[in-house]
Amino acid sequence: MSDHRDDEHAREHDRPLSGPALRAKALESLLVEKGLVDPKALDELIDTYETKVGPRNGARIVARAWVDPAYRKRLLEDASAAIAEFGFIGRQGEDMVVLENTPKVRNVVVCTLCSCYPWPVLGLPPVWYKSAPYRARAVIDPRGVLKELGSEVPEDVEVRVWDSTAELRYLVLPERPAGTQGWSEDELAAIVTRDAMIGVAQVKSPGQSKR
Ligand code: FE
């Protein structure tokens, strides 16, 4: 990728609040002040896109890859095209790469510069993903970060960290948990979490306690 795009990326995100973000903030304040919008309702709306609607798209991709080897192959070879088969296309998701977890490799996604994130498949990035500590430490000490997040990685498993950019967005294909033989695609999609697709958690086996 060219220097030009990297500069653009940095410029785009390093400013404290861009024009549109400022406008959004101003609008929010005004609506709240006029009593037209309940800040709690707004938080709930954002939470919905962060944890429910958005990541459900990615979960469907993962579930399909788990049950359909031909789809899995297409997904790993050309993620953008395979994801577009579901119609999940749009801004911040034009160039996708899917990273496959294996018993020996765990992939973790970060954006060290700002908060690049695959919107069409994961929705809005969570606050911690955008935080400076995660962005810095995910690269320096990924094992430490994973451990703190309750997902310790054994010594003999390699951890690969992928730095998102304005032009490349990543989605982790987690391992299918044991005990899910014969499950339908919908049942599988229901257990795939956002954090597993960022790479900071694994998909739990059924009956295993949530972290
Ligand atoms: Fe970014």
pLDDT digits (tens, 9 = 90+) for 8-21: 555 555 555 667 77
Residues 162-205 pLDDT 10s: 999 888 999 999 999 999 999 999 999 999 999 999 999 999 98
Distance 113 CA to ligand 1 centre (A): 5
Instruction: Give the domain extent around 126.
Output: 54-209
Residues 111-162 pLDDT 10s: 999 889 998 899 889 989 999 999 999 999 999 999 999 999 999 999 999 9
Whether 161 maps to a domain, the answer reads: yes
DSSP single-letter state for residue 37: S
Catalytically annotated residue among 80, 111, 151, 209: 111
| 110 CB-contact burial (10 Å; exposed 0-12 / middle 13-18 / buried 19+) | buried
Whether 47 maps to a domain, the answer reads: no
**Residue 209 is among the residues annotated as catalytic for this protein:** no
**Residue 2 is among the residues annotated as catalytic for this protein:** no
Tokens at 64, concatenated: 């399909």
Tokens at 83, concatenated: 């994801």
Catalytically annotated residue among 18, 29, 114, 184: 114
SS3 annotation, 2-25 = CHHHHHHHHHHHHCCCCHHHHHHH
DSSP single-letter state for residue 162: E
Contacts of 78 (CB under 8 A, 6+ apart): none
Judge contact between 62 and 173, C-beta under 8 A.
Answer: yes
Whether 39 maps to a domain, the answer reads: no
Whether 191 maps to a domain, the answer reads: yes
Would you place residue 93 in the very low, low, confident or very high pLDDT band (cuts 50, 70, 90)?
Answer: confident
Whether 79 maps to a domain, the answer reads: yes
Distance 137 CA to ligand 1 centre (A): 16
Whether 12 maps to a domain, the answer reads: no
Per the structure, the count of domains in the chain is 1
Q: Is the pLDDT at 210 greater than 50, yes or no?
A: no
Whether 142 maps to a domain, the answer reads: yes
Whether 88 maps to a domain, the answer reads: yes
Q: Tell me the CATH number at 90.
A: 3.90.330.10
Q: pTM for the full model?
A: 0.79
Distance 6 CA to ligand 1 centre (A): 10
Is the four-CA dihedral 116, 37, 195, 122 of positive or negative sign? negative
User: Quick one: pLDDT at residue 3?
Assistant: 43
Largest CA distance in the chain: 57
Q: Is the pLDDT at 208 greater than 70, yes or no?
A: no
| % of the chain surpassing 90 pLDDT | 61
Distance 175 CA to ligand 1 centre (A): 26
User: Quick one: pLDDT at residue 171?
Assistant: 97
**Residue 116 is among the residues annotated as catalytic for this protein:** yes
